[in-house]
Structure 1
Amino acid sequence: MVRRLTGRLIIATHNRGKLWEMQALLKPYGIEAVSAGELGLPEPEETGATFIANAELKARVAAQAARLPALADDSGLCVDALDGAPGLHSARWAELAPGGARDFAAAIERVERALRETGAAPPYRAHFVSALALAWPDGTTQVFEGKVHGTLVFPPRGTKGFGYDPIFLPDGLSRTFGEMMMDEKQAIPPDGSPALSHRARGFQVFARACL
C-alpha cells in the first residue's frame, strides 16, 4: 500500500553532502527535513548485502528512534573492471581523516591504483547506484532505486559535489559530477525525463509514489 508523506521527515544520514542534496530535492514539496546526525540519533553498522538492505536498515533505526518517518540513502560507485567495487564499501574506501571525516581524495587514488593493478585500459565503465528507503515508525518500508552510467576519468576534474564526483563522467556529457553545481546535478526535469544524478533519479521514483 502506498503511503503519502507530509510534515516532518528524518533524513537518516550523518553525511552533510547527502543531507544537502536531499533537503534541496524535498524543498519544493514543503517537507521539513532534519538529519539523524542533527538529532543525535545512532548511526547503525551497515551490515546489509545490498544497497537496498542497508538503506532499509538505516531508515528503520532512525524512524523507530525518532518516532517519525525516515528516509535513508545507501549509494555507491560500482566499477566494471573492479567487479563492482568499491560498491557497498564506497564510503569505507575513504580513509578517516583527522576529525573523523572521510578522505575521498584517498579513495579516488585507491580506485585509480586498483585499476592500474588490473591492467584494464580506459574507458573505465562504472555506474552510481542510489537506493532510497522510506521507513515509518510502525516498521513499514518503501524502497526506490536510481542509477546513472558513465566512465571514470583521471586525474579528477572539479571541486564541486562530494565523494567520487570528480572522477565520474556521465554518459553523453562532457563534465564530471565534480564540475557541476548541485542545482544542475539534482534538477528534476519538468517533463519527467531522468535527472542527471543517481540520487535525483531515485528521488523521482520516490516522489511519484510518496509526495
Structure 2
Amino acid sequence: MTDLLVASRNQKKLAELRRVLDDAGVSGLRLLSLDDVEEFPEAPETGATFEENALAKARDAYAASGLAAVADDSGLAVDALNGMPGVLSARWAGAHGDDVANLELLLGQLRDVPDDRRGASFVSACALVSSAGETVVRGEWSGHIAHAPRGDGGFGYDPIFVPIGSDRSAGELSPAEKDAASHRGRALGLLLPALRAST
C-alpha cells in the first residue's frame, strides 16, 4: 500500500478522489490528508493561475512529508465577470471558505445580468509531485449561473451552477453524477495514469 498525501483538509475533496480512484479500479493507494501528517508551513496561494497554485501546494506537501502529493486548485470562472472570481473563488467575499458569503456576493454582482450572459465554467487544476516528477492537468465543466441557489449537495458554488445539458444545479446532483461530469472529476481522470504509476 502506497501513501498518497492529498494537500487539503477538505474531507469532501478526499472522498471525491477516493470515489474516482475506486471507479477507475486504482487500488494500492492509501489517501492521507494534511490532518494526517505533521504540520508544516503552507505557502499562501499567490499564483495567477489554478495550475500555479496546485503545483505550489503539491510541491510544499511533497517537500515537507516525503510522500507523493496531489493538490488541486479550483474555482469558478464567470463570463460576465471576465473570468472572475477565478483563483479568488474561495475568498471572493473576503474570508477564506465562507461559501454563503461568496454565493451571495456573486449573485448580487450578477443580479441584472440576463440569462444569455450568465455563462460560467468550473475549473480544476490538479498537480501530482513525487520522486517520479511532476504532472499538472486541467479539467473544465461548463454551464451557467442560476438566479438563486438550488440543492444542498456538494459545496462552494455548486447550488448556483447549472451544467450545460442539465436542468439541475450541481448542488442537486448525486455524488456519482457530479464525479462523472465535474471539473475535478475530469482533471482527476487525466491524472489517473500518473497516479497509477505512483503505486
Output the TM-score relative to the length of structure 1. 0.84
Alignment of structure 1 residues 146-161 onto 2, 5 Å? 146-161=139-154
**Once superposed, which parts of structure 1, at least 4 consecutive aligned residues long, lie more than 4 Å away?**
none
SS in 2 for 1:133: strand
Q: Quote the residue 1:78 is aligned against.
A: 77
Cα distance in 2 for partners of 1:95, 1:18 equals: 22
CA distance 1:29–1:44, change in 2 (3 Å)? same
Q: Which residue matches 2:92?
A: 93
Which residues in structure 2 correspond to 1:19-38 (within 5 Å)?
19-27=14-22, 28-30=25-27, 31-38=29-36
Question: Deviations 1:65-116 (Å, cap 9, x if unpaired)?
Answer: 11010000000000000111110000012554xxxx7221111110011123
Of 128, 135, 139, which aligns to 2:129?
135
Offset, 1:122: 1.6
1:49 positional shift: 1.3
Corresponding residue for residue 185 of structure 1: 178
SS across alignment from 2:123: strand
Question: Distance between the aligned counterparts of 1:104 and 1:17, measured in 2?
Answer: 14
Where in structure 1 are there 5+ consecutive unaligned residues?
1-5, 187-194
| Cα distance in 2 for residues equivalent to 1:47 and 1:88 | 9
Partners in 2 of 1:41 and 1:201 — Cα distance?
29
Task: Quote the offset at 1:17 in angstroms.
Answer: 2.2
RMSD: 1.8
Measured after TM superposition, the shift of residue 8 of structure 1 is: 1.3
2:58 and 2:69 in contact (8 A); partners too: yes
Partner Cα distance (1:54, 1:16) in 2? 19
Give, as a single letter, the amino acid of the residue that structure 2 aligns with 1:67.
G
Please tell me whether residue 57 in structure 1 is matched to residue 56 in structure 2.
yes
Deviation at 1:120, TM superposition (A): 2.3
Structure 1 or 2: more helix by fraction: 2
1:203 to 168, 188, 191: 188
Alignment equivalent of 1:167, drawn from 132, 143, 160: 160
Q: Provide, for residues 148-169 of structure 1, a one-character-per-residue CA deviation record: whole Å limited to 9, x for no partner.
A: 1001112100000000000011
Q: Is the 8 A contact 2:91 2:98 kept in 1?
A: no
Asked if structure 2 preserves the Cα contact closer than 8 Å seen for 1:60 and 1:137, the reply is: no
- Amino acid of the residue matched to residue 46 of structure 1? E
Q: Structure 2 unaligned segments of length 5 or more: list them.
A: none
AA in 2 matched with 1:76 = G
8 Å contact kept, 2:20–2:189: no
TM-score (norm 2): 0.89
Say which SS state the counterpart of residue 141 (structure 2) adopts. Answer: strand
Comparing 43-52 and 22-31, the one that deviates more: 22-31
